[in-house]
Structure 1
Amino acid sequence: MILHHIALNVPVSDGLFTYRHPTALPAGCRVAVPFRGKTVAGVVWASGVESSMAIEKILPVQTAFTDGAPLPESWRALIDFTARYYHYPTGQAVFAALPAGLKEPKPVGMPQPPLFYALNETGRAQTPPPERFRKQHALWQALFSDGLEMAALKRINNQAPKLVQEWAAQGWIHTSHAAAPKLNPSEHTLNAAQQAASQAVQAAAGTFQPFLLYGITGSGKTEVYFDVMAEVLAAGKQVLFLLPEINLTPQLLKRVQARFADVPAAVLHSQTAAGARAQDYLRAMLGQAKLVIGTRLSVFTPLPDIGLIVVDEEHDGSFKQDNELRYQARDLAVWRAKQSGCPIVLGSATPSLESWHKAQSGAYRLLELAERARAAAKLPQVEVLNVGRLKLDNGFSPQALKLLQQNYRQGGMSLVYLNRRGFAPALFCGDCGHTFGCPRCSAKMVLHQRARQLRCHHCDYRQSVPYKCPDCGNQDLTAVGQGTQRVEETLRALMPQAAVARVDRDSTTHKNDWADLYRRIAGNEIDVLVGTQMLAKGHDFARLNLVVVLNADGSLYSADFRAPERLFAELMQVSGRAGRAQTAGSVLIQTQLPEHPVFAAVKAQNYRIFAETELAERKLLNMPPFAFQTAIRADAAKVADAMDFLNGIKAVTEPLISENVSVFGPAPMFMVRLAERERAQVFLESPDRRSLHRAVSLWVQVLQQYRDGKIRWSVDVDPAEM
């Protein structure tokens, strides 16, 4: 009997368990094993291991799925690193990185390599179909290529399967499992800055080199990505393209399909059906999919021939997973590029201060696109309006309403940006002051007028809108503040002839909602968009020439030191939606804090000014990126229990921790109550990453000894949430 370490989805120190099997199983092989009376899936992590336990007490592997290709060594190294760095059990990290279809204790059919069709020498010598049979003639000409898949041939002639079968029967067709991908030429001519950026990345082919592509909004970063990708794909290598959110995928996919129509591609995100996602994952692992596009979880996709990684909107908070395995996909992408010896391009109009600092220190190479790609497209004119003493109409200043009406009359398209969905942030009783809070969280319920519901946007608790105040019985309840639904209703009343469309998580729940929105915008069927962060980045709407930002400074009241950085990125990104074609763009930002440095930098459309000021302040305060942080959190029925738990661990670990590691807390979290649990946290901070990780390891060792089922704990390395 050969003993194996099997990775299981179990929350213990490493998640590796010993099982026996008559033969040595390859590392990375999926298996089914018994565990606590159930059959569960596992992954072989090591073979030929030793154990002090008697062999008859070691349980056998029930089934080894050896028909499928094992998960490769490079993938296992990535998981090992991820588990170590984020102080997370290896077994759970394995299953966090796998698609749902590979987490079950059952076999999965391996995708078959696609067939490519071309004319052989005999076929090329034949007389082609007459030109009057236009589609048949076009199909014949296409078969003179190095080989095309049937899907590509059907786009030329929908009778392709029948015709190719007939020609194959004549002995004229050659089939193969590989072909050089056919790349369509770009419709765009790169300007000098774009060419320089593309050539710099291409020159680094085959070597690890991180690039920060800093380009103002509308500067054509995507065309630089595509230019480099074309070279990498033409060389037969794979490309991993990471996006922060699903809603950016449809518009990008249209551009990808236009440029890389015949490149075998896989699109991986949470709305992909489980079976399709597993098959695309395996196609990428087998090298069949050459271009992989996806959201943060796609960073774990096995790629044997990776030649380039692109992380678009690299600053975006969506790349950070905020529960269970709390990884930062952007940082893991850089690690993967180093592991694979390939270049990585991190692109943004508002780079994260961590990436900008690395570019300034020489760890990353800075590439800059300082002008918009379209010569006629200019940066928008930004006006910051102090609304502190103005009377607002449902959040709108008179100036904002006038601009929106004027732009509609002139045929322009407007975007009203408010980062709060729902009808209003809170329901309020004017008689006694009662506000309706979530019974499970320390957050106010948001009024959703059309659904007649109050909803918590943190735990999704829902209740019907009450008809009276529970404290005093007053039936005249007031909606306080503005949400996207209320803004939409205000605009419909103000501009009844205008087509107003609201875009938030409530209005884009169905699979085809984004495609429908793009179709309506392209057909000039929308005059005013009302949206949240989902509309702030990545979209390119040619007719959009006015952006109005309501309640811009809400986040500046946050205790989070990253709040100014997030607000600046948000405002720059949403401002960048305006004036991307021939029409000049303008932006009106309403604020009660017009003197704040963030607004001066946005008005100047100058990222460098903001970054230099903010980094100087961070350095003074010894905050990231000049120091490293880990948050250790606990939650319990009562916050006092969570605090006591963390204080107990702190008392044990503090004497053993290095002097250059500071421990702050414990303290209640900003939102102390979430989903009926109350939360506290401790921050470990150090200018030395290794010292910090040693301290975190010590904390984890002690935490694992406490088996109090009433208290849950977690570790968040490089936390994004305070």
Structure 2
Amino acid sequence: MTHWLAIAVPTPAHSRVGGLLTYRSEQALPAGSLVRVPLGQRELLGVVWDDALPPPDEPLANQARAVIAALDGVPPLGAPWRRLIEFTARYYQRALGEVALSALPPQLRSLTATQMARRLKRAGRASADTSPNTTELRALTADQTGALAQIDHKPGPFLLFGTTGSGKTEVYLRAAQAALARDAQAQVLVLVPEINLTPQLLARFAERFGDAAIACLHSGLTPAQRLAAWLAAHTGAARIVLGTRVAVLASIPQLALVVVDEEHDASYKQQEGARYSARDLALVRGRHSAAKVILGSATPSLESWHAATPVAAGGAGRYQLITMAHRVGASDASPGLPRVLRVDMGRQPKGTLIAPPLLAAIGERIARGEQALLLLNRRGWAPVLHCADCGWKSECPHCSAYRVFHKVDRTLRCHHCGLAERVPRACPACGNLDIGTQGRGTEQLEAQVSALLAGVPRPDGTPARIARIDADSTRGKGRLESALAQVHAGDVDVLVGTQMIAKGHDFRRVTLVAAINPDAALFSSDFRAPERLFALLMQAAGRAGRDAASGADSQMWVQTQHPQHPLFAALKAHDYPGFAAQQLTERQQAGFPPFSHLALLRAEARSQEAAQALLGALAAQAQAAGAQDATLAAALPHVAWYPAVPLAVQRVAGIERAQMLLESAHRPALQRVLAACAPLLQALRATPEHRGIVRWAIDVDPQDL
């Protein structure tokens, strides 16, 4: 008997084959089954999306090709997972098969039945015992007890607003423990924004529940590791799935709890392909699976804060707010937060890198055997190499950006396209031998701090030890873990780094944190820049004084040319609610999210004119299409179209980039317009006048403008 199946295959949204395809099969296969199917000259992995279809009309029945084989042994992908994929594809304007297959481990596409059986056997070896190690559990604080009571008795979703060091991780652990205890098959998903935060959190969960019960999913895994982790999650062998944004699309059939740690972090937004927000999909996934969702942060995103603010107070009232205002070991009289000191760099000698009072404070910490953390969110030695005689600067020939000078290997390196060249001996334009630098990066800060602290001894009389953690110093495998282990062991006295060291790490010996040059974000054209700066500085401040014994004496120093700026005043008071209220007022007046919804239409071409021409033609065609489509015509008046403009970094790797902003107070109207734009862009790209287009993309709810 012939069965007809609708199957999702990995075809991109740009192709003319973007929907489900019909195949015939000699055996009945349930929805969610993994199969191998032919497409053109290739054999692809596909997912049976719907139960058996009625027989198609004769012409289609004759053209339909047969399923090659089913992937026996792999349980079908459940209905909640398929609904999540459907939502992701629809909302972010991508092809269903593209999203579905990109969420599966690549090795599934090539393994034989025998190999798959072997992998499934390994996945089933995980222990089902997830009983916590109760012998070492610490007593909960009043804040933690109250938070867990709300999570237990209310439906959520929850915004866990806990100051740094308040014990949010322990709340995650206890909430996971409760979810697993209620149901012997239940699973928990824990998301972190970046790979470098997974080892620390993984260690905490493994210590509590054991390694066998946990699967870790992130882009740094080998294909075999990713497949093993995915199978453990899909078969239920892994009771806890921990990972970065990619884990939100994993198959977790018995999902009971979702935790999104540092929910404010922009890293949760995918920047290629289906540009989804893992934080937002976690909420959608919670609804589809009837799972509770906890969003945790000391500095929530303004969108989440607005959603957790009661309607009576001007918010949306969609989330339930849980506040943890005290650090572990602190009291109402002394919450244990670091004292914030502002240094007016306008009053310091010109060219000062570290103000004398800050330098003295660092020396005192070193002499007491404590650690200091210096934050400079710019890697390399200097952002620009320049010639004072002719004005030459180290521009990248392929990008509209400067190449950064890296002294450690004497290279000029573009952080956009990756071009790296040796530093020239003389100015390429005029031959001047005296080439200088502009600005400072973490390499230079590390070297100069080492020189400034050369005479400062540790308690044992040995010289102070300086270390640097950034994307350059931790590029090799295992180097990040090694560097962090040295900090935790006390082998580093002063740690210099970028935002990598400001998030999530539990450095028990750090009592002083300093932001060296945070002013640039104060005057950015991106309306989210103040929010990101405040979050970064609050998170950095949270690294200081996490040990209750040193919390009262911990400090956060901010070197700035604008010490009276309201952002720094709110930081000094540790007043996130006040900062958020001020920012939300400004956003409401300007009509920015969360009071409106945005989308970016992006085009890349060999010339800026071609990229902008495509977007301009799209806007005209969309308006014209409204005359033929009543639903689109009703949506268009609610959407504002802004002219096409170059991106901030206009050219990358020789490709010009332009974007057009769409804004609407009505999300459904914006979605209807975007759905109409995708086929129009595809048709325009095929026309002779737009054949110079390299690619186009639709970015819904963009994080970077």
TM above 0.5, one fold?
yes
Letter in 1 for 2:53: G
Query: What pairs up with 1:54-453 in 2 under 5 angstroms?
Result: 54-104=60-110, 106-107=112-113, 108-109=116-117, 110-112=119-121, 149=127, 178-179=128-129, 181=131, 183-204=133-154, 208-235=155-182, 236=184, 237-261=186-210, 264-360=213-309, 361-375=316-330, 378-391=336-349, 393=351, 395-453=353-411
The counterpart of 2:563, out of the listed 573, 594, 602, is 594
C-alpha distance in 2 between matches for 1:179 and 1:216? 33
C-alpha distance in 1 between matches for 2:133 and 2:75? 29
Letter in 1 for 2:410: R
- Deviation, structure 1 residue 270: 1.4
1:36-70 Cα deviation digits (max 9, x unpaired): 32222222223425544343433322232233222
1:644-680 Cα deviation digits (max 9, x unpaired): 1111111111352521211112111111112221111
Contact 2:123/2:235, CA 8 A, preserved across alignment: no
C-alpha distance in 2 between matches for 1:220 and 1:60? 55
The counterpart of 1:48, out of the listed 45, 53, 59, is 53
> 2:645 matched to which residue of 1?
667
Matched, 1:21 2:25: yes
- Deviation, structure 1 residue 180: 6.1
Matched, 1:648 2:613: no
The more displaced of 510-519 and 221-230 is 510-519
Structure of higher CA gyration radius? 1
- Deviation, structure 1 residue 33: 2.5
> 2:460 matched to which residue of 1?
none
C-alpha distance in 2 between matches for 1:250 and 1:377? 28
- Deviation, structure 1 residue 275: 1.0
- Deviation, structure 1 residue 396: 2.3
- Deviation, structure 1 residue 624: 0.1
Sequence identity percentage: 42
1:610-641 Cα deviation digits (max 9, x unpaired): 00000000001111000011111111011110
C-alpha distance in 2 between matches for 1:561 and 1:678? 24
- Deviation, structure 1 residue 106: 4.8
SS in 2 for 1:443: coil
C-alpha distance in 2 between matches for 1:179 and 1:397? 55
Q: Structure 1 residues 440 and 262, CA, compared in 2 at 3 Å: closer, same or farther?
A: closer
- Deviation, structure 1 residue 24: 2.9
Matched, 1:510 2:476: yes
Q: Structure 1 residues 648 and 16, CA, compared in 2 at 3 Å: closer, same or farther?
A: same
> 2:608 matched to which residue of 1?
639
Contact 1:672/1:678, CA 8 A, preserved across alignment: yes
The counterpart of 1:461, out of the listed 402, 419, 423, is 419
Which ranges in structure 2 are unaligned for 5 or more consecutive residues? 310-315, 455-462, 627-634
The more displaced of 99-108 and 412-421 is 99-108
SS in 1 for 2:594: coil
The counterpart of 2:669, out of the listed 657, 671, 691, is 691
- Deviation, structure 1 residue 256: 1.5
- Deviation, structure 1 residue 222: 0.8
Contact 2:130/2:209, CA 8 A, preserved across alignment: no
Contact 1:113/1:288, CA 8 A, preserved across alignment: no
Contact 1:239/1:307, CA 8 A, preserved across alignment: yes
> 2:453 matched to which residue of 1?
495
Matched, 1:3 2:4: yes
1:1-50 Cα deviation digits (max 9, x unpaired): 33322222222363432332222333222222232322222222234255
SS in 1 for 2:642: strand
Letter in 2 for 1:548: A
The more displaced of 546-555 and 624-633 is 546-555
Which ranges in structure 1 are unaligned for 5 or more consecutive residues? 117-147, 150-177
Q: Structure 1 residues 485 and 22, CA, compared in 2 at 3 Å: closer, same or farther?
A: same
Contact 2:255/2:291, CA 8 A, preserved across alignment: yes
SS in 1 for 2:683: coil
> 2:544 matched to which residue of 1?
578
SS in 1 for 2:363: helix
Q: Structure 1 residues 402 and 421, CA, compared in 2 at 3 Å: closer, same or farther?
A: same
SS in 1 for 2:601: strand
The counterpart of 1:680, out of the listed 658, 680, 688, is 658
Please, what TM-score do these two structures have when normalized by structure 1? 0.88
Q: Structure 1 residues 506 and 30, CA, compared in 2 at 3 Å: closer, same or farther?
A: same
- Deviation, structure 1 residue 185: 4.6
SS in 2 for 1:190: coil
- Deviation, structure 1 residue 280: 1.4
C-alpha distance in 1 between matches for 2:340 and 2:517? 16
SS in 2 for 1:112: helix
The more displaced of 504-513 and 390-399 is 390-399
1:252-297 Cα deviation digits (max 9, x unpaired): 2222222212661101111222112112111111111101110000
Residue correspondences, number: 660
Contact 1:209/1:342, CA 8 A, preserved across alignment: no
1:567-602 Cα deviation digits (max 9, x unpaired): 000011001111111222111111122232211111
- Deviation, structure 1 residue 240: 0.5
C-alpha distance in 1 between matches for 2:111 and 2:636? 44
C-alpha distance in 2 between matches for 1:49 and 1:274? 38
Contact 1:181/1:262, CA 8 A, preserved across alignment: no
C-alpha distance in 1 between matches for 2:678 and 2:233? 35
Contact 2:81/2:253, CA 8 A, preserved across alignment: no
> 1:713 matched to which residue of 2?
696
C-alpha distance in 2 between matches for 1:21 and 1:247? 45
The more displaced of 379-388 and 75-84 is 379-388
Q: Structure 1 residues 323 and 311, CA, compared in 2 at 3 Å: closer, same or farther?
A: same
C-alpha distance in 2 between matches for 1:219 and 1:417? 22
C-alpha distance in 2 between matches for 1:49 and 1:494? 78
The more displaced of 552-561 and 403-412 is 403-412
The more displaced of 603-612 and 245-254 is 245-254
The more displaced of 413-422 and 700-709 is 700-709
Query: What pairs up with 1:501-580 in 2 under 5 angstroms?
Result: 501-580=467-546
Contact 1:394/1:482, CA 8 A, preserved across alignment: no
C-alpha distance in 1 between matches for 2:403 and 2:286? 43
Q: Structure 1 residues 432 and 184, CA, compared in 2 at 3 Å: closer, same or farther?
A: same
